[in-house]
Amino acid sequence: MFTYNFELRVRYADVDQMGYVYYGNYAYYYEQARAEAIRSLGFTYKQLEDTGVIMPITRMNIKYIAPAYYDELLTIKTIIPELPSRIILFKYEIYNEQSKLLNEGETYLTFINRAENRIQTAPQLLIDSLKPYFEP
């Protein structure tokens, strides 16, 4: 299993009238954490796209447990629980500075060959980078 922790400070623009992080911003937080998790493997989303692969989200689930507030430092734990095939699953856990779990979520992304607009298997670059995390 691959895990990566990403820290993010809640901006003033991220909160709603109640002072809570606006619910729609969690998808944006997931995206930032996902991109940085990929970067931690030694390459970027852009480099994956440059190989002709795009990765649209096909499903997203979010569970709101407790609110996050302006200026809190959040830790977003990104988990890839299994080696991808044609789909990659990212799970997320968001914690505040007191290590309280605030949010859980998951996104499913499909690998698409951009030129053919067809589903394909995960790029070898990604598989090779993730394999060490799944070996016994």
pLDDT digits over 7-60, tens only?
999 999 999 999 999 999 999 999 999 999 999 999 998 998 999 999 999 999
Beta bridge partners of 110: 87
Mean pLDDT across 51-71 = 97
- Return the structure tokens found at 127: 């598989």
- Return the structure tokens found at 58: 């096909």
State yes or no: pLDDT of 135 exceeds 90: no
State yes or no: pLDDT of 128 exceeds 90: yes
Q: What percent of the chain has pLDDT over 70?
A: 100
Higher-pLDDT residue of 48, 112: 112
C-alpha closest to that of 115 among 60, 65, 49, 59:
49
Mean pLDDT across 105-124 = 97
Query: Tell me, what amino acid is at 14?
Result: D
3-class secondary-structure state, position 75: strand
d(CA 17, CA 86): 41
pTM of the model: 0.94
Q: What is the largest CA-CA distance in the chain?
A: 48
State how beta strands 87-95 and 53-54 pair.
Answer: unpaired
> Is 2-133 a domain of CATH 3.10.129.10?
yes
Band of residue 89 on the pLDDT scale cut at 50, 70, 90: very high
C-alpha pair distances (Å), 86 with each of 1, 13, 56, 127: 18, 36, 12, 11
C-alpha pair distances (Å), 52 with each of 20, 44, 45, 117: 39, 13, 11, 10
